[in-house]
Amino acid sequence: NAGVTQTPKFRILKIGQSMTLQCTQDMNHNYMYWYRQDPGMGLKLIYYSVGAGITDKGEVPNGYNVSRSTTEDFPLRLELAAPSQTSVYFCASSYISQQETQYFGPGTRLLVL
């Protein structure tokens, strides 16, 4: 199993551009999450999904959108990139609840200039 994979590893965006961060898991997990990690700060939940077709906002959803059309994929969309979205983004998954062990991807480093 590859676990949780994310692409791209690193990206530079100009202000106002849009992009999609890809996340795929091959563990047949129901729950998937997107977090952002800023220097010196704890991970913040952006969006999560409890299954295909169901998504919900986390702590910091503004400026982002998600979709969950399949169990495996959970892409994160940035529509109008802003410097405040410069961060490292982690996708994670767990089997049947948030409180179980979450398995994280390697992260996507995003720089918005």
Site residues (vs other proteins, CB under 8 A): 4, 40-45, 90, 92, 97-99, 101-102, 104-107
Give the nearer residue to other proteins in terms of CB position, either 80 or 111. Answer: 111
Cα four-point dihedral sign 54, 97, 34, 102: negative
Give the nearer residue to other proteins in terms of CB position, either 26 or 79. Answer: 26
Least Cα distance to 88 among 70, 73, 71, 104 occurs for 104
User: Cα angle at 103 between 91 and 50, to 5 degrees?
Assistant: 65
Give the nearer residue to other proteins in terms of CB position, either 64 or 89. Answer: 89
Smallest separation, CB 63 to other proteins (Å): 20
